[in-house]
Amino acid sequence: MSPIRRRIPASIALAFVLGLGPGCSKDADPVDTQDTGTETSTPTTDTTDTDTTPTTTPTELPDPDSELWVDNVAGQPGATGAEDDPFPTIALALENLDGLTYIYVRDTGSSYEGACVWDSDVGIFGVDGRPVIDQYVTCDGRNVLLFSRGDDVRFDNFTVDASAFPGESVRALVFSGLPDAPMYRNVGNQIHGIGPGFGIPGRSLISSSLCYDCIFQNGSSTGAEEHGIYWTNHQDGSIIRNNTVSNADGACIQLNSDPETYDGGVGIEDGVMSGSLVENNVLIDCGTGNGGAALNLAGVHDSIFRNNLIYGTDFTGGIAQWDDGYSDWGDYGNFDFGCKDNQFLHNTIDCRDCDRHAMSFRNGSTGTVFQNNIVITDSRDALGVDVESDSGLQIDYNLYLDGTLFEDPDEDWIDPGEWQALGHDANAVFSSFDVIFSDASAGDYTLANGSPAIDAGADHGVLGDLGGDSRPAGAAPDIGAYEAQ
């Protein structure tokens, strides 16, 4: 390692973390977890990307200062790390960083040991396929497959398989900042985490703590012992997009600030997570063991949730806004740390089998915009708002089943007419189930021909849909995660 670490300019660093990696483009179909990866070369400018829903502009990766190669079949311990003289392990490459360093890990068909990344300005890319990491390391006392505590660290194109370690709290990927040393601009791109499945209490499979402007995209998480993707501890500027999360014991995605560690406003532990973007994720079979809504939000502010699809959840609920237990349910408490001023646009929530609300806004979760969503419920109520959250709501242009029940602030169940009399959903659509989707029983939630969701939404400037097609098409935006073309 060079004695003086070179800091890349902020603009380059931003490009580094926001840029799409090798092969990351429209081929990263969010519902395709079987992508075997065909990337065979070093990162290059991706000119094919047509992401239509950016709040950030994908750009090319900057040229690295140095490049190192890892090959666990051909590599030798005394290697230089050159392409024709690779290291045998990722750990050896990490001992030889020099400026912004890209480490290319060859998929040899033989799996790798994980890595703790303590330095900044590191990209680790799986190449020649998608290498598997399934031997854990211990970083800062935690058993993990990929771990970072640096800034501008990128993990790209790996399968991280912790399925052989039930009950051992082995996590697939951890971005781990500290209160006195938060971290910035990490990226997990095309990272596919596999856990041992539900039933044994454990740890979240993909997690991030005090990592600001950090991204998890184009990947998957399945079989988490706790949450599938868990972003926590006051971090801001998170992006979670284009992922499939399934079979999580807890929430599929949980954004959970931590008011219990509120620092009184003197430091970064401000009790809330702000400025997140969660889009184009597919969440299936969430809350299978420990509960937690499919998309579970505590202390989240000023964030956008759009084009997400939720189905198959039968123990818990769809989307919950609350405050991590900092105030009591519906009667008293400190509501400063509830969810506030979040937008939920164009989500599809099939909660026919849910055991709780499809949507609940609790504990001072005010200022919510909830529009253009399809919310399907059966015996439970679709949407509940407690009295502390009944301020600044903009709930409209959603699609529900005929006869859907709602919950009023007094926690009484009411019918659609009574719900609308409260000022909500004046332009809602009510429909029978069978005419909405192409084939929900097969997980196809695109809109059926003639679906009542078509052209029935309001324009919120969402320019793409979950399938990567443009929005709006036709006369107006459609309701739900997919736009009929």
Stretch that binds Ca ion, among 30-38, 228-236, 308-316, 415-423 (CB under 5 A): 228-236
Cα–Cα distance list, 414 to 375, 421, 462 (Å): 16, 10, 31
| Residue 190 CB contacts under 8 Å (≥ 6 apart), including other chains | 21, 23, 24, 28, 35, 37, 126, 130, 156, 157, 158, 218, 219
* Contact positions with Ca ion (CB under 5 A) in 35-54: none
Q: CB of 432 within 8 A of CB of 438?
A: no
Stretch that binds Ca ion, among 97-105, 397-405, 414-422, 469-477 (CB under 5 A): 469-477
Shortest spacing between CB 313 and Ca ion, in angstroms: 27
Q: What are phi and psi of 474, to 5 degrees?
A: 75, -150
Shortest spacing between CB 477 and Ca ion, in angstroms: 6
State the maximum Cα–Cα separation within the chain, in Å, rounded to a whole number: 75
Shortest spacing between CB 94 and Ca ion, in angstroms: 30
Stretch that binds Ca ion, among 18-26, 278-286, 385-393, 475-483 (CB under 5 A): 475-483
* Cα separation, 181 vs 151, whole angstroms: 10
Instruction: Choose which of 199, 201, 267, 474 interacts with Ca ion (CB under 5 A).
Output: 474
Shortest spacing between CB 338 and Ca ion, in angstroms: 14
* Contact positions with Ca ion (CB under 5 A) in 363-422: none
Shortest spacing between CB 264 and Ca ion, in angstroms: 14
Shortest spacing between CB 453 and Ca ion, in angstroms: 9
DSSP 8-state secondary structure symbol assigned to residue 63 = P
- H or E element that contains 91: helix 90-94
In terms of Cβ atoms closer than 10 Å to its own Cβ (0-12, 13-18, 19+), residue 126 is buried
Shortest spacing between CB 484 and Ca ion, in angstroms: 6
Task: Report the residue number, 179 or 291, with the smaller CB distance to Ca ion.
Answer: 179
Burial state string for 225-262 with b = 16 or more CB within 10 A and e = fewer than 16: bbbbbbbbbbbbbbbbbbbbbbbbbbbbbbbbbbbeeb
- H or E element that contains 10: helix 10-18
* Cα separation, 218 vs 280, whole angstroms: 10
Task: Report the residue number, 89 or 232, with the smaller CB distance to Ca ion.
Answer: 232
Stretch that binds Ca ion, among 56-64, 114-122, 313-321, 476-484 (CB under 5 A): 476-484
Task: Report the residue number, 119 or 455, with the smaller CB distance to Ca ion.
Answer: 455
Burial state string for 377-401 with b = 16 or more CB within 10 A and e = fewer than 16: beebbbbbbbebbbeebebbbbbbb
Task: Report the residue number, 51 or 236, with the smaller CB distance to Ca ion.
Answer: 236
Residue nearest to Ca ion (CB): 474
* Cα separation, 177 vs 208, whole angstroms: 8
Shortest spacing between CB 9 and Ca ion, in angstroms: 25
DSSP 8-state secondary structure symbol assigned to residue 484 = -
Q: Hey, what amino acid is at 467? A: G
Task: Report the residue number, 219 or 468, with the smaller CB distance to Ca ion.
Answer: 468
Task: Report the residue number, 210 or 245, with the smaller CB distance to Ca ion.
Answer: 210
Task: Report the residue number, 154 or 471, with the smaller CB distance to Ca ion.
Answer: 471
Shortest spacing between CB 457 and Ca ion, in angstroms: 7
Task: Report the residue number, 87 or 326, with the smaller CB distance to Ca ion.
Answer: 326
Task: Report the residue number, 49 or 455, with the smaller CB distance to Ca ion.
Answer: 455
Shortest spacing between CB 168 and Ca ion, in angstroms: 31
Instruction: Choose which of 67, 152, 270, 350 interacts with Ca ion (CB under 5 A).
Output: 270
| Residue 250 CB contacts under 8 Å (≥ 6 apart), including other chains | 204, 224, 226, 227, 228, 230, 286, 287, 289, 290, 291, 292, 296
Stretch that binds Ca ion, among 66-74, 133-141, 258-266, 267-275 (CB under 5 A): 267-275
Stretch that binds Ca ion, among 116-124, 334-342, 398-406, 474-482 (CB under 5 A): 474-482
* Contact positions with Ca ion (CB under 5 A) in 229-248: 234, 236
Task: Report the residue number, 258 or 388, with the smaller CB distance to Ca ion.
Answer: 258
Tell me if 226 contacts Ca ion by CB under 5 A. Answer: no
Task: Report the residue number, 270 or 279, with the smaller CB distance to Ca ion.
Answer: 270
Shortest spacing between CB 234 and Ca ion, in angstroms: 4
Total residues contacting Ca ion by CB under 5 A comes to 8
Tell me if 478 contacts Ca ion by CB under 5 A. Answer: yes
* Contact positions with Ca ion (CB under 5 A) in 423-462: 455
Tell me if 258 contacts Ca ion by CB under 5 A. Answer: no
Q: By C-alpha distance, which of 151, 324, 174 is closest to 254?
A: 324
Q: CB of 40 within 8 A of CB of 128?
A: yes
Stretch that binds Ca ion, among 81-89, 165-173, 286-294, 464-472 (CB under 5 A): 464-472
* Cα separation, 20 vs 114, whole angstroms: 23
Q: Hey, what amino acid is at 387? A: V
Shortest spacing between CB 7 and Ca ion, in angstroms: 24
Give the footprint of Ca ion on this chain (CB under 5 A): 234, 236, 270, 455, 472-474, 478
